[in-house]
Structure 1
């Protein structure tokens, strides 16, 4: 099973304000993506080379009760929320999670049409864990769809991405079992740290 970092989610209570802030920090304006029906969210995207940054926010056209959109709407300010890994074998990822003692939900089929009319279809396998929660990434299979990193605004690259957690050793063991090649560092509070190289220099993003 091949598992690679796919994208990083930066949650912002307001999409326009969140995208504008990322554009100000980096000098590259994210492009509007689309909505996620049933999840209460919509997004804008910024390429980071082989990966991308997803600015994810509540979708005012959807109900926000009991879903990710509602959770993001309650945030005091934007910040890194979780990340996704890419694999073409979601069943193997689910099996690896089970071996690590982690429950999963899905795969869930999803899709949207880009502003240029190109249809994207993918499937996600979500994590359900009361101890580590979204510190464990969900998995995405893009199937035959073009990867968003190749069609979103360029100019930034990802220099470093690390996970922070007070139970770093235990989380690292789970990552190893699931094939997740992302470093985990001991910290007082759970969180994430991403370092971007941008036209305006180095930019550091952290959890909210």
Structure 2
């Protein structure tokens, strides 16, 4: 199995407009249009983090019908909704694998075939829509078309380090070792699940 790598970061917001304004204000670069995720009733905007990774701002699409299953990334849960009242925030990350076949997906959820415009991929999503490991355990993605970073304009933003705090760091390290994960990810002990990303921009360093 080829090593897993970081595919993208997920920032959630109450509305896409609020999320875009918040992140563009922090990074001083424009986000690119994303699209709608009809299966989960969400929409996003995107930003390149270089040739191999990107960042998405994700929010519920108020014009979309309520999906028949819980939305992904915990967007339907009261704790996350209450947390977003304080503003957008980094909630999750996604690791890219060459193939999901042969992997034990028990810690990640079910593999769902998904599409948005020209993009086609398979993503692991827990049946209840919860954030795996409170957000620190990655969702896994297998792309069937070229990943977004291959088409996004380079905004000069790079991820220097993703820090994952968890009450059980050893288990998370074992999980990443099982995936043969390679990337700038630091796992540390924390009272509860928490994420922070250190980004390098043309204007200096920014922590999300």
> Greater CA deviation, 66-75 or 152-161?
66-75
- The CA deviation string for residues 8-48 of structure 1, in whole angstroms up to 9 with x for no partner, is 10111111111111111111111110011121211000001
Does residue 52 of the first structure (1) align with residue 54 of the second (2)?
Answer: yes
State how far apart, in whole Å, the 2-side matches of 1:29 and 1:22 are: 9
Identify the residue that residue 147 of structure 1 maps to in structure 2.
147
Alignment check: 8 A CA contact 1:64 1:70 kept: no
Shift of 1:183: 2.5
Instruction: Kindly indicate whether the alpha-carbon contact (under 8 Å) linking 1:41 and 1:58 is maintained by their aligned counterparts in 2.
Output: yes
Match of residue 123 from structure 2: 124
1:175 is matched with 176
> What secondary structure sits across from 2:171 in the alignment?
helix
CA separation of 1:4/1:41 partners in 2, compared to 1, >3 Å: closer, same or farther?
same
SS of 1:132 mapped into structure 2: helix
Number of the residue aligned with 1:116: none
Aligned to 2:109, what secondary structure does the other structure show?
Answer: strand
List structure 1 runs of 4+ shifted beyond 6 angstroms. 128-131
- Pick aligned residue for 1:185 from 183, 188, 195: 188
Q: Residues 78-128 of structure 1: CA distance to partner in whole angstroms, max 9, x if unpaired?
A: 111111111121123x32x45xxx26312x111122xxxxx1111112356
Is 1:110 aligned to residue 114 of structure 2?
yes
Provide structure 2 residue ranges, at least 5 long, that are not aligned to the other structure: none
1:130 to 1:21, Cα distance in 2 relative to 1, 3 A: closer
Q: Which residue number corresponds to residue 194 of structure 1?
A: 197
d(CA) in 1 for partners of 2:30 and 2:161?
Answer: 21
TM-score scaled to structure 1, two decimals?
0.83
Query: Contact between 1:127 and 1:133, CA under 8 Å: does it hold in 2?
Result: no
- The number of aligned residues is 193
Structure 1 residue runs without a partner (length 5+): 114-118
RMSD of aligned Cα (Å)? 2.2
